[in-house]
Amino acid sequence: MGQEPEPDNGEDKPHSDEAHSAFTPPFGVPLPPAPEDGQTTSEFARPVGIGEHAPEDQSAGSGFRPPRGGPAAAAGVGPPPAPATGPLSRSTPWQDRMRVMLRTPMTERPTPERALSPTEETALPVPRVLDLTLRIGELLLAGGEGAEDVEAAMFAIAHAFGLDRCEPTVTFTLLTVTYQPSLVDDPVTLSRTVRRRGTDYNRLAAVYRLVDAIVDEAAAVSLEEAYRGLAEIRRNRHPYSKWALTLASGGLSGAAATLVGGGPLVFCAAAIGAMLGDRLAWLAAGRGLPEFYQFVAAAMAPAAVGVTLNIADVDAQSSAVITGGLFALIPGRALVAAVQDGLTGYYITASARLLEVLYLVVGIVVGVLIMLYVGVQLGAELSPDAALHRQERPVVSLLAAMLLTLAFAVLLQQERSTVIAVTLNGGVAWLIYAVIAHQANKSPVLATALAAGLVGLFGQLFSRYRFISALPYVTAAIGPLLPGSATYFGLLGFAQDELNAGARSLLTAAALALAIAIGVNLGGEMARLFMKRPGEKTTPARRGAKRTRGF
């Protein structure tokens, strides 16, 4: 007989994450005694001390979740109490607290924000609370907020109204929230689909103020008051009219054309082309055409103006005119949100956002290429060299960058109180980029990433100070960094059958766009990682997924 192998004691194996899952008893529940020799055990066996002295009437609770104040609670069985201090301090912004809660297992989460008596808990209208949660999440997701921030806001509302066993789920167009009173009760699940998306940061800030009031215990906002506040937000008009948006689009394109070397004539031509494109896009939207065709129409107008100036031998840089028109169309906001969702682990939403960006960029490409091919056939001599001779105009470039940011903020329907801050943020971003890329002659990708990182850092600091979303302080500020010129040169290369040069320019544009998105996200994470509010000893820690070995 051979020697029997020694039993594996598991000392040479790393501990699995499953060892700390549902099989580990919650805090306060003692481990069951070890089985005697020959005694068989099963996970279905009842632990010692649970259910031995249960009352005959089990309607008030179950063995998995005893009622508050019952004998089981006195014996120490039940969910752990909320920590008195630590990362979930009341001085911490609710966004950071809810991000921590979302990454925490349900059995380890502290008690809800508002302590409810048993009668209030049973009378709590769970479907209405979940419906309010979904409606607020819909406004945030439709406004371009990241998936993690939408889930944090939804969980904050449910948690504030006493629904501690709540799990929100956000994808690109679908929001779902599930509440399960206990492990043996039937869960309640509601979902809502986002049919229309629009950019209105004024409404986004109002939604954040409503969520902050709901979470604040001192405000004591009831469910009916929350519904009334939500209705008022939906009834609010946009702060700027359609014609104001059209003028802002022209100012944005003119400022962008000035950044790439244009003069007053180029500024006016780019502004006229962008305003014509904006009106064509409104006309296409009024006819019910998809957004892809709206972008095709909006891209054709500035390209047509640039080609017309070249054919008429007007002393103007037609390439700068077309480049300025592209700045108003590049979906930088959607790209930043897509990369942010991917970096935070929401891969389905990130993939959908990236696909949306791809479709919009293809629409821009189609519109510009149509006019470039027509211009080449009519004898237009378009060369990227005409726009590459930059003039050393630091003051003019800085003012143009700030004007571009200001116009972008108007297009995003921002609150008037945030316009000055975001304009200064955009000027600082362009100043950092110009010093690194033009004065120090470093890589434009590196300069873009560093400038975008400062934009994300300042935006997160502004949002923490005012307890609102960081998007109003970030999105418009990255406008001067968008790769409009690289995109145009790539399209021009394809139009002139110079495929290698066109492909290199488009790859450069893609690298710049990714540098902007990653820099903004990294700057925001640095702000949340190192910045502390007064009275805090540590910053809130957000648990991450344990995937460091590629499996």
430-479 per-position pLDDT tens digit: 999 989 988 888 888 899 999 988 888 888 888 777 667 788 888 888 88
Site of tokens 């009760």: 185
Q: Distance (Å, rounded) from C-alpha 341 to C-alpha 144?
A: 11
267 lies in the same domain as 343: yes
Domain's final residue, options 191, 212, 235: 235
Q: Is residue 58 a part of any domain in this protein?
A: no
Cα Rg of the chain (Å, integer)? 28
Domain's final residue, options 206, 235, 264: 235
From the centroid of its chain, how far is CA 479? Answer: 17
Q: Is the pLDDT reported for residue 503 higher than 70?
A: yes
Q: Is residue 32 a part of any domain in this protein?
A: no
Q: Is residue 45 a part of any domain in this protein?
A: no
515 lies in the same domain as 412: yes
pLDDT for 100 equals 67
Range with lowest mean pLDDT among 297-301, 444-448, 533-537: 533-537
pLDDT for 393 equals 81
Structure tokens at 339: 């990369």
Q: Distance (Å, rounded) from C-alpha 205 to C-alpha 472?
A: 8
pLDDT for 138 equals 92
Q: Is residue 218 a part of any domain in this protein?
A: yes
421 vs 528, more confident = 421
Q: Is residue 348 a part of any domain in this protein?
A: yes
Q: Is the pLDDT reported for residue 388 higher than 50?
A: no
pLDDT for 176 equals 93
Q: Are 357 and 172 in contact (CB under 8 A)?
A: no
pLDDT for 316 equals 75
Q: Is the pLDDT reported for residue 549 higher than 60?
A: no
231 lies in the same domain as 247: no
Q: Is residue 83 a part of any domain in this protein?
A: no
Q: Distance (Å, rounded) from C-alpha 370 to C-alpha 200?
A: 31
pLDDT for 88 equals 46
417 lies in the same domain as 517: yes
253 lies in the same domain as 222: no
pLDDT for 534 equals 45
318 lies in the same domain as 452: yes
pLDDT for 319 equals 81
Structure tokens at 167: 């799990």
395 lies in the same domain as 468: yes
CB count, 10 Å around CB of 104? 15
Range with lowest mean pLDDT among 19-23, 132-136, 383-387: 19-23
pLDDT for 132 equals 93
Please report, as a single letter, which amino acid is at residue 69.
G
Q: Distance (Å, rounded) from C-alpha 309 to C-alpha 410?
A: 29
264 lies in the same domain as 206: no
Q: How many domains are contained in the chain?
A: 2
Q: Which of 170, 188, 192 is nearest to 178 (CA)?
A: 188
Structure tokens at 188: 């309640």
Q: Indicate the average pLDDT of the chain.
A: 75
Residues 66-118 have pLDDT tens digits of 333 333 333 333 444 444 333 444 556 666 667 666 666 665 666 555 544 44
Q: Are 79 and 107 in contact (CB under 8 A)?
A: yes
Tell me the range of 76-85, 201-210, 388-397, 487-496 where mean pLDDT is highest: 201-210
Prediction pTM value: 0.72
Domain's final residue, options 235, 251, 272: 235
pLDDT for 286 equals 87
335 vs 113, more confident = 335
Q: Distance (Å, rounded) from C-alpha 317 to C-alpha 383?
A: 10
Q: Is residue 70 a part of any domain in this protein?
A: no
181 vs 386, more confident = 181
415 lies in the same domain as 460: yes
Q: Is the pLDDT reported for residue 324 higher than 70?
A: yes
What percent of the chain shows pLDDT beyond 90? Answer: 17
351 lies in the same domain as 469: yes
Residues 474-502 have pLDDT tens digits of 888 888 888 877 777 777 777 767 778 87
Q: What is the DSSP letter of 175?
A: E
246 lies in the same domain as 369: yes
316 vs 370, more confident = 370
Q: Is residue 9 a part of any domain in this protein?
A: no
125 lies in the same domain as 273: no
Residue 126 to residues 31, 161, 178, 188, Cα–Cα distance (Å): 34, 9, 10, 8
The boundaries of the domain holding residue 99 are 94-235
pLDDT for 512 equals 86
User: What are φ and ψ of residue 191, in 5° steps?
Assistant: -140, 160
